[in-house]
Each structure stands twice: as structure tokens, then as C-alpha cells.
Structure 1
């Protein structure tokens, strides 16, 4: 299997709890909190481990939250590469309203970075990457990190013989979508992000497939994936378009579903499976993730059971 390195520059110590009902101006008595290491690349590595695979997890950490997060990752058996940063690693809180079945998510900002710190972490990522391996760059960028870091990394990693998988948002995603600079091999986004980039609502599966394939043909990425929530995900390359339907499962928490997709999808590619198989495994992983509480991600048995009910079909 090819080496997988995940990168998380803006991690979070995730807390998840529940209340009977979210209402203003009163003390809300919460259920016991679950605490997990969080952030895009971290969740990708956690998902890969839960599915029986292995990855190396490069994480920028600082302060006591960073120490706690590192302990949790090591306890989960994940190979951790710590890049020390100043300031305190951020935290996040998700609260489930049991009466309405709704979830509220509160994300604190991470500590700001200086230009020198960005240069240092970029060197650490390039040094950690292994030729012919896969590098997953996932999650938001910390304050102070310019959007062009990801294209710059993609170019340097390609020169080292690595394949890149990018799942980001905000200015970084917009810069990548304008094909400014070296492109990732795989670019994933959700429905809202795709609608925003397209400047219109992508109302159907063919709409998303046309949009994704258009990005590929503009040189934005070799492969583009658009996640359409309960409908599953659409994937396009230069000459192919596929859809994998999400499983019909009870939804407890959507936290980490996209990261679980990326973990399951990347693991399948690293194992040498064809892209059609990787897509349905990614969708099965995301479907399994929404079945678990809070920030728990997926159960391997659920993913394996759901693979066959998330078929991949051409569009």
C-alpha cells in the first residue's frame, strides 16, 4: 500500500454534548461531553485507522490543548508528526438538541501564524512526504496563512512524486478553483461550496457532474468530487463522470462525515483500487459517519456493510 500523510494546520480539540432543547437566556444542562481530536487531516487519519489502514498525521499543535490532542491521537494508535506552533490550539463544541434532532456547531479561531512559521511548516510537510505516496491536505487554514500555500505545496509535492488530495474551503478553495498555480490531483468540495464557486445552484446530479468536469478541463485538478449530502457524491475526471448514492441511514451527527469520506476514498486509492470502487467506499464511509454520536466518526463494520448499498454508476 502507498504511504499516506495527512496534514492539519488548524486542528481543534472537539467537544460534543447534548441538551434536551436549545433555548436562550437559561442554563442548559448538558449530557456528559465526548472529547476527540479534530480537524480535517486528523479526522482523515482517524477514519483510516478505524477502517484498518495506516497513515502518518502531521499536525500543527500548541499549548495545553495541543498536548491533550496529541495524547488522544497517540492513544488511538495514529503515527503523529508534531509541528510546534505558538499560541493555543483551538477548541470546538457541537451540541445536539434532542427535542428537534438538530445539531449546533461552534468553531473557535486558531492562533495566528507569522510568515516565517508558514515557511517552516511548508518545509516540514515536504520533508515528511514520501516519494510515490499520497498527501492529504484537509481543513481550514489558520489565520495568517495565505491561500497560495496549498497550490505551492501541490507543486513541490508533485516534484517529489507525491499525489495530493485537497479538501479545503474559503479563499484557498477559491484560489485553487481559478487554476492559479499548481493543481492538486484530487479536489473535494461540498454542495454549498460548489454552488458558491459556480455562482448558481447546482440542482441535479448532471449539474454537479458538468461543473466538476468543467473544473478538471480547466486544469483545476485531475479529479474533482462534489458531495451532495443525502444524494451521495459525484466524481469527474477528464473523460468520466460517476455518482455513488448515499445509504439511507439514521442521522445522529454530521461532524466528520466529509473527512471520513476522504479517509475511506484515499485509503482505497492507496490500496490500488479503481476510482469507481474508491468513490463508493468513500460514500459508504460518510454514510456510516452520520450514524455515530458527536465526533465519533465511523464504525468499520458499518462501512463494510454499507459499501454494497452505495453503488457507483456512470452519469
Structure 2
């Protein structure tokens, strides 16, 4: 089972317009709502590919109710820690003519100390039955980067695979805790390490303790740098540029990394024994 942890989930709200004109009024059809946030997006991809997964997140207010309703409708196994503040929203306006999306992401309300304790305790409890844990997304106020580092270190110590797709000091804390995989995008890597050069920043995370660094580069594809061969990075990109709403693209990459950990291992082939007789 793959456990995904999303401390700051969102109710994703999307509207389509024929053409987006800043400063103008637009008449639109009914928008779409669905449960979002990086870890939930990862769990959704894993679920769609038949991987046993469990999504852990917080939820509060009417938007939290809507998030829970969508998770149930999708048949996605989940555990929601109740919080007092309403779950944040992420607004996407898709310009169908240009194939581009404009995103407005609320920051999310702060969690109380009791709510933080409940979330971290639940994560540790559920992780006991997980082959891998994915720590994803932004952190609401109240959760410290040190909390992420301690959680990652505890899981690594038990032999659980840890994949971290968090930002800023939390990403560095996860790397220093020995996270097996960290996956920032180029902007997040720069924010975390201060290095303008992507490869230099990736190597810094390896030096701090990460096992593997995967950097998403938008239209330029992805960069993979491993501890065993930091001077021989792997690069991959599509042959053409895709246009549209990029929400969830990086999360799908995380799901691709985590997915094999949730698949049952094939039974070993039976050992052939030569037939023998009494001599």
C-alpha cells in the first residue's frame, strides 16, 4: 500500500472560457470541483492504475465536506483529519483558445497545535502498513519544516520508502532525513537550495542525504540525478510541447515513482529438483 500525506489539500475549482481577457467580465458555464492537493493527486493516479493506496489529508468547513464527497465518489480510500478552518480552494481558469490555464491557489489556513499533532500521529500510524509514503504539497502555517524532517526520519528508520514533494525548508529537511526520493520543480529547487543551476542544486540535495533527486522542468522535461552517479544525470522530455492545465503533471510523475512500491512482489519461481532414485 502507498500512503500519501497532504497537509494542505485543496478543493480544485475549474472554469473554461473561450478566451481569457484580463480585466474583462466573462460568462462561463458551470465549473467543476474535485478534491485536490499534491498528495491527493498522486493517490488518484495510483488508484486509477490499480495500485493500493490511501490518501491522508486534513478537511474543514463546507469546502472540506465537498472534498470528502468527491473522494467518496471517486472510490479513493482516504482518511481525513478534521480541522476547524475551511479547506482552501485552488482556482483554474482555462483559456480554450490558447490552451493555457491561469491558476489562483489559496494559501490555506493555519492548523492548531492539536490539529498538527493529530495529523502527524495519524501519518505515523497509517505508515506502519505502507510500503512507501509520499509527503506532498505546501505546508499550512502551524506545521514546521522540522516536523516534516522528523516524520521522514522516523519512516526511513523503519525501512519505509519516503518520497518527498514538498518545498523550501521542508524539502531540505526531508533530504537531510534521508528521504529516498525528492522531487522539486526547477523553481522549488532554486527556492530550497539557492542554486540557479539545476544540476548543482540537485547535487546539493544528494549531499544533504537524499537518495535520488528528480527535477521537473516544465517544457524541458525532467532531470534525474542519483547518488551513485551524480555526474551522469539522466534527462527526458517529450518531442513536442503540451498546452493546457498543468495541475497534477508533477504529481503523476511522483505516482510513477511510487507505484511499483505498492505492487505485490511476484511469487518466486518453483525450484526444479532433479529426480533421484535409490542407488
TM-score band, normalised by shorter chain:
0.7 to 0.9
Q: Is the 8 A contact 1:51 1:264 kept in 2?
A: no
Confirm or deny that 1:75 pairs with 2:61.
no
Runs of 4+ in 1 over 4 A off after TM superposition: 174-177
> Who is 1:215 aligned against?
205
Partners of 1:26 and 1:229 in 2: CA distance:
29
Shift of 1:237: 1.8
Partner of 2:215: 226
Report the alpha carbon displacement of residue 12 of structure 1 after superposing the two structures with TM. 0.7
The structural deviation recorded for 1:246 is 3.1
Task: Write the distance in 1 (CA, Å) between the matches of 2:130 and 2:67.
Answer: 29
In 1, the alpha carbon distance for the partners of 2:24 and 2:202 equals 46
Q: Deviations over 1:100-137 (max 9, x none)?
A: 43311011132211222212211111011125610001
Q: Distance between the aligned counterparts of 1:197 and 1:111, measured in 2?
A: 23
Which of 237, 259, 268 is matched with 2:260 structurally? 268
Q: Which residue of 1 aligns with 2:272?
A: none
Q: Decide which moves more: 43-52 or 264-273.
A: 264-273
Answer with 1 or 2: which has the greater Rg. 2
Residue among 162, 184, 188 paired with 1:189: 184
Kept after mapping to 1: 8 A contact 2:42/2:252: yes
* RMSD of equivalent CA atoms: 2.2
Aligned twin of 1:161: 159
Conserved 8 A contact 2:193-2:204? no
TM-score by length of 1: 0.76
2:75 & 2:136 partners in 1: Cα distance? 20
Tell me the equivalent position of 1:111.
109
Residue pair 2:193, 2:201 contacting (<8 A) in 1 also: yes
Distance in 1 between residues matched to 2:78 and 2:248, nearest whole Å: 19
The aligned counterpart of 2:2 is 4
Change in CA separation of 1:248 and 1:54 when aligned onto 2, cut-off 3 Å: farther
Residue 183 of structure 2 aligns to a residue whose secondary structure is strand
**8 Å CA contact 1:54, 1:78 repeated in 2:** no
Structure 1: distance between partners of 2:227 and 2:37: 31
Please identify, of 111-120 and 144-153, the stretch whose mean Cα deviation from structure 2 is larger: 111-120
Paired residues of 1:15 and 1:35 also in contact (CA < 8 A): yes
Q: Distance in 1 between matches of 2:90 and 2:204?
A: 35
Q: Show CA shifts across 1:162-215 (max 9, x none).
A: 1111001134235446x3xx231111100122233443433xxxxx44542342
Q: Distance in 1 between matches of 2:193 and 2:107?
A: 27
CA 26–166 in structure 1, closer or farther in 2 if over 3 Å, else same: same
Unmatched runs of 5 consecutive residues or more in structure 2: 266-279
1:295 corresponds to: none
Change (3 A) 1:141 1:185: same
- For 1:96 and 1:164, locate their aligned partners in 2 and report how far apart those are by CA, in whole Å: 34
Deviation at 1:217, TM superposition (A): 2.8
Partner of 1:128: 126
